[in-house]
Structure 1
Amino acid sequence: MRAAVVTSFGGPEAVEIVEVETPEPGAGEVRIKVAAAALNPVDAGVRVGAFGGAGRRLGLGWDIAGTLDAVGAGADRQVGEEVVALHYGMGADLGSHAEYVVVPAAAVAKAPTTVDTVHAATLPLNALAAAQALDLLSLDPGQSLVVTGAAGALGGFAVRLAAHRGVTVTGVARPADEEFVRSLGAAHFSTGQVAAGGAGAVLDAAQLGERAPAWVRDGGAFTGVIPGAQPASVRGVRTAAVEVAADGARLAELVRLVDDGVLTLRVAETFALAEAAKAHARLAEGGIRGRLVLVP
């Protein structure tokens, strides 16, 4: 099968399309014939060596939408199911930017029925990360939350999920994104001017660093999106950073929110798998609203 990988770090030109053996599922695993797989900033991080792995072949791609093609022993799934899944790809030699991918059966959920496969492929990584980040914050209805990067993929899901739970959200983004961020359910909008100590919690999807924790009231909560990079606790503020985990049951809940019209999935552009390097170049240009999606 064909797969997008990197064997040396660098720019978009470091992405290679190689021929490899089609993986076989082991016990408790399933193989998915990939129909679409989103490209995310974490893939660019792998490509440039931000997570290590020098001298090894590293696979690319975490999001998956496709069809179950083979089922390992003990995996309670059926061949032919249309599914979505998160492939936790850190350090893996193959990812979802391939014609086939093997994942634990527990990572899989039935695909949404109200959107096409390309849109479905934008759900797993960013929606799971947003949901799990909100879990770390443990907010009740009526509490206040600032979400930075509110027009981005992860931040946008966080705004919508929090607002759906009754949390009062302030979205921080560029001025041109105000209408969109408010459409997600943000009660307030800011381009970066937030009162110090005025928020019950902050989810820093934009990785603003030192500015964002200052917005949290004493005893509040802060969650970042780079594992291990959260600031030290001051003024009794709980600090954490989300490390996304594959969770098929939680993903199924998010799929239901898509089908119920609560979550909207955004696609900016599609590329053939053979154009993976071109897709990385487009990602590097920035200014994208919605995900870039590879289609094998």
Structure 2
Amino acid sequence: MKIVGIRAFGGPEALEVLDVPEPHAGPGQVRLRVRAAAVSPTDTMLRSGLQDMGGQEPPYIPGMDAAGVVDEVGDGAGWRIGDEVMALALPRSVHRGAYAEYLVAPADSIARVPAGIGLEAAATLPMNGLTAVQTLEKLALREGQVLAVTGAAGTLGNYLIQLAKEAGLTVVADAAEKDIHLVSALGADHVVRRGDDVAEQIRELFPDGVDAVADAAVLDEKAAGAVRDGGGFATYRGWNGEPGRGVMVHPIWVREEYHSGAKLDRLRALAEADLVSLRIADVLPAERAADAHRRLEGGGLRGRIVLTF
């Protein structure tokens, strides 16, 4: 099968179109004929050698988001050949990443694609959607409480705002001048300027601090000051700082959601109800993965670039 793989870590040019043996579905598994794979910052980190591959041998296969058609079903998997589904992929697992013509996945890790959305858009939902779900579960805020979201114009920020509003929370979000309309349209109740002083700006609105911060911009201690005493702080790159004041830091790891097909199916329903918006920046053939990585690392994208196979 064709993959976009990495034999040696490096820049975007390290991505190569390669042929490797096809995987096959075992008991309790399905195989997807991948049609679309979203490109995300975790992919560029893997390509650059910033992730521990756990002894896995190259070629490494990036990609944590896939959408496609089930073409093999293992015993007891409960899916049918021809089902259109989306999946969270784990590049460091035995099944590897989504930049491939075929992806084997546990039957409980996939969900149907949202009706009327299309495979390219569906491929933007699993990783960041499940990351947002896990964030809200760990922060455990009650209806009416206040969540601040940094990096609000990005894909994760998009889902955090919309899922928080669906849960009845008040949302404060940051945005650059050019993104204020976008972030407001997602449902944010208050918008502050993006920047290192975001905590001070949030405190101007909520002098005692907000109930929790979801730090999608990875500002770490620069954002933690916005949390009230005893509140919660969600971090996405393993920050191990200590904010003090009784603030609880919640590391968010989407790999814990690998078998969360039921949660992914709820995201499907929310997308179908237009309560979660799926945004595509561009669609490129898989052979242009290096161009996709260059554009992502150049910054400024709103939505995901999607590779097609």
Give TM-score, length-normalised by structure 2.
Answer: 0.92
Instruction: Report if aligned partners of 2:172, 2:188 keep a CA contact under 8 Å in 1.
Output: yes
Code of the aligned partner of 1:7: R
* Residue 219 (str. 1) matches residue 230 (str. 2): yes
Counterpart AA for 1:21: P
Residue aligning to 2:71:
69
Equivalent of 2:251, from 231, 236, 241? Answer: 241
Opposite residue 39 of structure 2, the aligned amino acid is L
Match of 1:158, as an amino acid? Answer: L
For residues 170-208 of structure 1, what are the alpha-carbon distances to aligned partners after superposition, in whole Å with 9 as ceiling and x for unaligned?
Answer: 011212111111111110001122217511100000001
Instruction: Describe the shift of the 1:250–1:223 C-alpha distance in structure 2 as closer, same or farther (beyond 3 A).
Output: same
**Counterpart for residue 284 of structure 2:** 271
Selected match of 1:120 from 119, 122, 133: 122
Question: What is the deviation of 1:277?
Answer: 1.3
**Aligned ranges for residues 77-226 of structure 1 at < 5 Å?**
77-90=79-92, 94-191=96-193, 192=198, 193-195=201-203, 197-226=208-237
Does structure 1 retain, via aligned residues, the 8 Å contact 2:225–2:243?
A: no
Secondary structure, in 3 states, of the residue corresponding to 2:44? helix
Equivalent-residue separation in structure 2 for 1:39 and 1:20 (angstroms): 21
| Structure 1 Cα separation of the partners of residues 26 and 151 of structure 2 | 39
User: After superposition, what is the alpha-carbon deviation per residue over 1:137-157, rounded to whole angstroms, capped at 9, x for unaligned?
Assistant: 101110001000001000110
Question: Structure 1 residues 94 and 3 mapped into 2: Cα distance closer, same or farther (>3 Å)?
Answer: farther
Q: Is the 8 A contact 1:57 1:93 kept in 2?
A: no
Question: Which residue type is aligned with residue 23 of structure 1?
Answer: P
SS of residue paired to 1:283? helix
Instruction: Specify the SS of the correspondent of 1:127.
Output: helix
SS in 2 for 1:222: strand
Q: Percent identity?
A: 41
Amino acid at match of 1:254: L
The one-character-per-residue Cα deviations of 1:96-124 (angstroms, maximum 9, x if unpaired) are: 11111101111010111021111111111
CA distance in 1, matches of 2:208, 2:9: 41
Confirm whether residue 290 of structure 1 aligns to residue 290 of structure 2: no
Does the 8 A contact of 1:59 with 1:93 survive in 2? no
User: 2:99, 2:286 within 8 Å by CA — same for their partners in 1?
Assistant: yes
- Root mean square deviation of aligned Cα: 1.4
Please tell me whether the aligned partners of residues 224 and 243 of structure 2 are also in contact (alpha carbons under 8 angstroms). Answer: no
Cα deviation, residue 93, structure 1: 7.0
Alignment-mate amino acid for residue 220 of structure 2: G
Distance across 1 between alignment mates of 2:82 and 2:132: 29
Once residues 94 and 223 of structure 1 are traced to their aligned partners in structure 2, the CA distance between those partners, rounded to angstroms, is 27
Deviation per CA, 1:22-55: give whole Å up to 9, x if none.
Answer: 1011111110001111001000010001113386
Partner SS for 1:9: coil
Paired amino acid for 2:298? E
SS of 2:225's partner is helix
Deviation of 1:92 (Å): 5.2
Within 1, Cα distance between the matches of 2:286 and 2:105? 20
Question: 1:91 offset after TM fit, Å?
Answer: 5.3
1:42 aligns with 2:55: no
TM-score, scaled relative to structure 1: 0.96
Partner of 2:272: 259
Unaligned runs of 5+ in 1: none
Describe the SS at the equivalent of 1:155. Answer: helix
- Whether the aligned pair in 1 keeps the contact of 2:209 and 2:229 (CA below 8 Å) is no
Q: CA deviation at 1:232?
A: 2.2
Distance 1:242 1:120 in 2: 22
Residue ranges of structure 2 left out of the alignment (5+ in a row): none
